[in-house]
């Protein structure tokens, strides 16, 4: 303001000096004309400046102010306005950067975030929230959230602020088969933050764990009940029971105890295989590994099957010898158990055209229906529980063998292939990837 006043004072002083000079040179009547001329010019210039200012005010917000054009005091006004305009632009830029940083941080959150306004309309959401709730980050903004998630349970939750302290787990129709964990947190001026997390996987794991515990308990309960039955009979020793009969009871109780031991052993093997520790990287001599599994299969069969071995190779495999042995023995023992006496079993190793290695165990036994094949590696799955196999020691199958095989194969980055036809026989193949196979043939 001082600059404006000084500008005016200087203009008036200059005009006064001009009028005096005109009076002294041309006489005082001329001085009056000069004063009127100066006054008119001064007024015209002020009107010009005010006009430019008015024009600028009428422009849309953000239009740069008029540039100074040598119009006395108006130059100071326009220069000051331009300075302020530049400062505003810089501040807005800073604000944009801060907003972008906030948005990026919110996008990077592993959880979904939805900002709701006072009427529970979506103001903003991150991509994670859109994925979880099957929403669109652009077209669904502005919509009332309860119009999109049309679940009475969710509507009740939204309308009951007392529940905001607790989360809501919702199985929404919007994303069938998924369960979503949500919690609403009010923050400022009626706005609230809805935190969203897809808990489907967690729910699945919980169910799996529950099923697993139920299965293990059931599998252990059956032999335990049998053992207790025999022990009670032995304890009571009904009159007239012979030593031979007692011996039979002890033997049957022992068989069931072995069955339990076998189950616990397999569970322990599975839990070791499921740890994050990588498998050993032994140099496994395939020929001797196959020969050893072959010997054990012959012993299991007790001469009831013909078991062919085709693994004359100098190939070496990088892997965990004991895990591979256990996987192959599981396949071979299944072949023995699910092939009627007199059947033919063959065990084979070969290197495929692409350099991968393939172990295979084939039999011409009872085979498996196509509909059951995809479930074989599930824990405790047996095709026919009623016809559970009877091993030579009477321990029966646990339904864990192929789960173990699958774990071993995955730990070696390989693949388990199963081909089978009901009544015709089966072939189980373990494919080991090329980099693990050193074919010395
Ligand atoms: P189990 O201990 O019952 O043998 P596995 O996991 O090894 O458990 O096998 C799962 C089921 O797959 C078996 O119960 C059986 O029904 C079927 N199966 C496995 N191998 C064979 C095979 N070679 N021939 C026919 N059925 C088989």
Ligand 1: which of 347, 371, 390, 401 to mutate, most ligand atoms within 8 Å of CB? 401
- What pLDDT does 422 receive? 95
Ligand 1: which of 258, 297, 368 to mutate, most ligand atoms within 8 Å of CB? 368
Burial class (CB in 10 A: 0-12, 13-18, 19+), 341: exposed
303 CA → ligand 1 middle, Å: 21
| Atom number, ligand 1, closest to the C-alpha of residue 366 | 25
- Is residue 69 within 8 Å of 75, Cβ to Cβ? yes
User: What residues have CB less than 8 Å from 112, skipping those under 6 apart?
Assistant: 125, 126, 128, 129, 130, 131, 132, 133, 195, 196, 197, 198
- What pLDDT does 190 receive? 86
Q: Is the pLDDT assigned to residue 86 strictly greater than 80?
A: yes
Residue identifier of the C-alpha nearest atom 21 of ligand 1: 334
Domain ranges of the chain: 2-94, 109-198, 210-272, 279-439
Is CATH 1.10.287.130 correct for 210-272? Answer: yes
* Cα–Cα distance measured from residue 426 to residue 368, given in angstroms and rounded to the nearest whole number: 7
pLDDT in tens, 193-245: 999 999 999 988 998 899 999 999 988 998 999 999 999 988 887 788 888 88
Proportion of the chain above pLDDT 90, given as a percent: 65
pLDDT in tens, 205-214: 998 899 999 9
399 CA → ligand 1 middle, Å: 7
Q: Is the pLDDT assigned to residue 393 strictly greater than 70?
A: no
pLDDT in tens, 325-348: 999 999 999 999 999 999 999 999
- Is residue 317 within 8 Å of 438, Cβ to Cβ? yes
User: What residues have CB less than 8 Å from 405, skipping those under 6 apart?
Assistant: 327, 330, 331, 377, 416, 428, 430
Rounded mean pLDDT, 140-159: 93
Residue identifier of the C-alpha nearest atom 19 of ligand 1: 334
397 CA → ligand 1 middle, Å: 8
- What pLDDT does 1 receive? 55
* Cα 401 from chain centroid (whole Å): 29
Task: Name the H helices within 113-199.
Answer: 127-133, 145-148, 152-158
Where does the pLDDT of residue 130 fall: very low under 50, low under 70, confident under 90, or very high at 90 and above?
very high
Rounded mean pLDDT, 313-318: 94
Residue identifier of the C-alpha nearest atom 23 of ligand 1: 335
Q: Is the pLDDT assigned to residue 390 strictly greater than 50?
A: no
Q: What CATH topology corresponds to 279-439?
A: Heat Shock Protein 90 (3.30.565)
Residue identifier of the C-alpha nearest atom 7 of ligand 1: 401
Say how many residues make up the chain: 441
Ligand 1: which of 334, 343, 406, 421 to mutate, most ligand atoms within 8 Å of CB? 334
Where does the pLDDT of residue 12 fall: very low under 50, low under 70, confident under 90, or very high at 90 and above?
confident
Q: What average pLDDT does the chain have? A: 90
Rounded mean pLDDT, 75-82: 89
* Cα–Cα distance measured from residue 407 to residue 53, given in angstroms and rounded to the nearest whole number: 80
* Residue whose C-alpha is closest to residue 374's, from 333, 417, 337: 417
* pTM of this prediction exceeds 0.75: no
Where does the pLDDT of residue 181 fall: very low under 50, low under 70, confident under 90, or very high at 90 and above?
very high
33-37, 40-44, 197-201, range with greatest mean pLDDT: 197-201
User: What residues have CB less than 8 Å from 105, skipping those under 6 apart?
Assistant: none
Residue identifier of the C-alpha nearest atom 8 of ligand 1: 399
* Cα–Cα distance measured from residue 157 to residue 151, given in angstroms and rounded to the nearest whole number: 10
Q: Is the pLDDT assigned to residue 92 strictly greater than 90?
A: yes
Proportion of the chain above pLDDT 70, given as a percent: 96
Three-state SS for 67-111 is CCCCCHHHHHHHHHHHHHHHHHHHHHHHHHHHHHHHHHHHHHCCC
CATH class of 109-198: alpha beta
Ligand 1: which of 376, 396, 429 to mutate, most ligand atoms within 8 Å of CB? 376
List all residues whose CB is within 6 A of at least one atom of ligand 1.
330, 334-335, 338, 363, 365-368, 376, 381-383, 389, 397-402, 426
């Amino acid at each position: 303001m001082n600059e404006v006043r000084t500008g005016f004072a200087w203009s008036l002083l200059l005009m006064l000096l001009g009028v005096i000079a005109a009076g002294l040179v041309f006489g005082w009547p001329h001085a009056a004309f000069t004063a009127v001329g100066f006054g008119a010019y001064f007024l015209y210039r002020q009107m010009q400046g005010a006009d430019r200012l008015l024009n600028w005010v009428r422009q849309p917000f953000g239009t740069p102010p008029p540039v100074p054009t040598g119009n006395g005091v108006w130059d100071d006004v326009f220069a000051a306005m331009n300075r302020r305009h530049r400062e505003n632009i810089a501040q807005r830029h800073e604000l944009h950067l801060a907003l972008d940083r906030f948005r990026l941080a919110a996008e990077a959150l592993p959880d979904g975030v939805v900002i709701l306004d006072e009427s529970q309309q979506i103001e903003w959401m991150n991509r994670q929230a859109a994925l979880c709730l099957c929403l669109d980050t652009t077209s669904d903004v502005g919509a009332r959230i309860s119009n999109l998630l049309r679940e009475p349970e969710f509507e009740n939750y939204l309308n009951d602020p007392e529940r905001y302290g607790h989360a809501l787990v919702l199985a929404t129709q919007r994303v069938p088969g998924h369960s979503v964990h949500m919690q609403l947190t009010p923050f400022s001026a009626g706005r609230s933050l809805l935190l969203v997390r897809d808990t489907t996987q967690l729910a699945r794991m919980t169910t799996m764990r529950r099923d697993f515990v139920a299965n293990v308990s059931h599998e252990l309960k059956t032999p335990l009940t049998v053992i207790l039955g025999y022990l009670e009979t032995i304890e009571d020793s009904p009159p007239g029971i012979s030593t031979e009969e007692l011996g039979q009871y002890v033997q049957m109780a022992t068989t069931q105890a072995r069955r339990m031991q076998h189950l616990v052993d397999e569970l322990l093997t599975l839990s070791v295989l499921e740890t994050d520790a990588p498998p050993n990287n032994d140099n496994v001599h395939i020929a001797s590994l196959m020969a050893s599994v072959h010997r054990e299969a012959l012993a299991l069969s007790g001469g009831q099957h013909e078991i062919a071995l085709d693994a004359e190779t100098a190939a070496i495999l990088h892997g965990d010898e004991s895990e591979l042995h256990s996987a192959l023995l599981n396949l071979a023992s299944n072949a023995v158990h699910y092939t009627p006496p007199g059947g033919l079993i063959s065990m084979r190793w070969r290197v495929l055209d692409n350099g991968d290695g393939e172990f295979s165990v084939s039999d011409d036994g009872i085979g498996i229906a196509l509909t059951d094949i995809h479930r074989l590696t599930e824990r405790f799955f047996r095709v026919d529980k009623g016809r559970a196999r009877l091993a030579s020691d009477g321990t029966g199958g646990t339904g864990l063998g192929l789960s173990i095989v699958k774990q071993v194969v995955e730990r070696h980055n390989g693949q388990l292939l199963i081909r089978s036809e009901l009544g015709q026989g089966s072939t189980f193949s373990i494919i080991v990837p090329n980099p693990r196979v050193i074919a010395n043939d």
